[in-house]
Chains A and B, each alone.
Chain A
């Protein structure tokens, strides 16, 4: 016998809402109501506000059943680990573990005991089963198992810290940005020369800013060997006078 409690409908994070849905728990028909697939939990309650909620970590599996030879109605099947108690469903798993396991140890023991609750949500609109199923999949993915003792999922320390990894790699083909101090020391001789030349150009162009917007059109220096050409002929005096010269 399951006692239904007064529940409030969730106000946010509802991935799917399905009205006219009958809930059947371990073969017992609880009535017709509304199923809420919310991000925090799964809720169902009938028109008079009585219902139950399920925590996703307690849900072992869910499925769409369209096999009417096994169960006469197409429905969403949900298998819950443990038994739903009369108390707060959120503590359900612990309570079940206490009841069945003399050691009172973790839920893993309870799972192996295999006590489950089978719930079937039978919507009047059978076409909605896919949406209900998908919504539950999404919400389940939001609740990864916190006490997974099988795998070493503690990868906090190994997650990708880009800066750290770049420092370790030191690959020259991977572009990275240096702060001013670091950068100066990382320059090669050539790099240093280029830097000086460019800075020189900038300094020169400041003096000319009222004629041209930072573009040299007077004598081209012989040491501009990097192929940068200034087409002096195309420039007219005052061409850029109306340009905003504050460009750095």
Chain B
């Protein structure tokens, strides 16, 4: 898997479009919505019945989620504070969308970001990626 982008080790919101494949996956699934939650504080329910509430740093196309300043509640209801948390997409059951988030707008913003990345270089004669039109 080619990955051009780099993840910053500083806990600040980062764009995680690191490969064409990831952009394709993201654009064609609801993960774009989660990617639009960067900077928001939300709760992630894990598949092992634990929950993690924190600020979304990044979400990649495979739904791996990085959170900061996390309150982690395990299955036994024990609370732990965690500075940084990375949960693999496979272990995510739910991601709570904060009430104030406009879902459609978030999705549209994320898609336009993807299209901007895709078209950015084309004006300068760079790489062109086009969605396949399924009519």
Contacts and interface: CB of A to CB of B under 8 A. Distances in A.
A130 B86 CA distance: 12
Residue with the greatest number of chain B CB neighbours at <10 A, chosen from A57, A66, A67: A67
Interface residues on B, range: 35 or more
Contact of A63 (B3, B21, B83, B90): B83
Contacts of A228: none
Contacts of A129: 83
A192 to B, nearest CB: 26
Interface residues of A, number: 49
Interface string B30-48: 0100000000000000111
B130 A160 contact: yes
Interface in B11-55: 20-21, 24-25, 28-29, 31, 46-49, 52
A24 interface: no
Nearest to B67: A63
Given A61-B85, A66-B81, A141-B60, A165 B29 contact: no
A63 B82 contact: yes
Interface of B: 1, 3, 7, 9, 20-21, 24-25, 28-29, 31, 46-49, 52, 60, 62-64, 66, 70, 72, 75, 78-91, 122, 125, 127-133
B10 to A, nearest CB: 9
Contact of A161 (B31, B72, B87, B132): B132
Contacts of B52: 61
Contact of B1 (A60, A130, A142): A142
Contact of B28 (A66, A158, A174): A158
**Interface residues of chain A: helix, strand, loop or mixed (majority):** mixed
B90 A158 contact: no
Interface of A: 57, 59-67, 70-71, 77, 79, 81, 111-112, 114, 116, 129-131, 133-134, 136-138, 140-142, 144-145, 148, 151-153, 155, 158-162, 164-166, 168-169, 174-175
